[in-house]
């Protein structure tokens, strides 16, 4: 089994998870600048999750003796119109991640790389949760519809994410 190309692509995904972490960190900064500490807390926790996703890929690659490489990370967007804009962008980003994971999974299948397929199955389930979580937040924000008291109550709930 020649999985060199697949491992290179996993290394790309490792870097993409780091980029995801960076994007969520920038979103958290926007929230802090705009005095929404609860939403910022949620996004910092999200950043930490992305770092875990990255670490899991890195550990797998290292187990296979792959020479893991860090790449330059693109400067994340720092200007947003609103909280809704942030969480809609986050959902779009997660959809992009999902499509990347699916492509990796298909590549693993094509070359009968069962171990990588197994690893990627974890990411596929994780992406369902990630998309559901952002969908839920967007729905809540749409229901709040710009009401300040609604945004504050939700902010306090978001502060509680562990």
| Opening angle at CA 19, ends 2 and 159, nearest 5 | 130
- 97 closest CA partner among 44, 160, 54, 144: 54
- When binding is defined by CB under 5 A, the residue of 19, 47, 113, 130 that contacts Fe ion is 130
Helix, strand, coil distribution of the chain in percent, nearest 5: 80, 0, 20
The answer to whether 53 contacts Fe ion (rule: CB under 5 A) is yes
- Please, what is the minimum distance in Å from the beta carbon of residue 135 to Fe ion? 13
- Please, what is the minimum distance in Å from the beta carbon of residue 98 to Fe ion? 9
The answer to whether 88 contacts Fe ion (rule: CB under 5 A) is no
- 41 closest CA partner among 53, 25, 56, 54: 25
- Residue number, 31 or 43, with CB nearest to Fe ion: 43
**Residues near Fe ion (CB under 5 A), total:** 4
- Please, what is the minimum distance in Å from the beta carbon of residue 148 to Fe ion? 29
Residues that bind Fe ion (CB under 5 A): 17, 50, 53, 130
């Amino acid at each position: 089994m020649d999985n060199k190309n697949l491992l290179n692509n996993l290394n790309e995904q490792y870097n993409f998870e780091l980029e995801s972490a960076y994007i969520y960190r920038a979103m958290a900064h926007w929230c802090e600048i705009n005095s929404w500490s609860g939403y910022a807390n949620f996004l910092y926790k999200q950043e930490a999750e992305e770092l875990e996703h990255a670490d899991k890929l890195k550990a797998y690659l290292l187990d296979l003796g792959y020479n893991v490489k860090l790449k330059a990370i693109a400067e994340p967007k720092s200007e947003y119109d609103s909280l809704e804009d942030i969480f809609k962008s986050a959902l779009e980003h997660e959809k992009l991640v999902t499509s990347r994971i699916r492509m990796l999974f298909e590549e693993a299948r094509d070359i009968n790389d069962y171990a990588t397929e197994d690893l990627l199955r974890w990411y596929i389930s994780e992406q369902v949760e990630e998309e559901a979580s952002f969908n839920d937040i967007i729905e809540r924000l749409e229901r709040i519809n710009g009401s300040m008291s609604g945004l504050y109550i939700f902010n306090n709930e978001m502060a509680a994410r562990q």
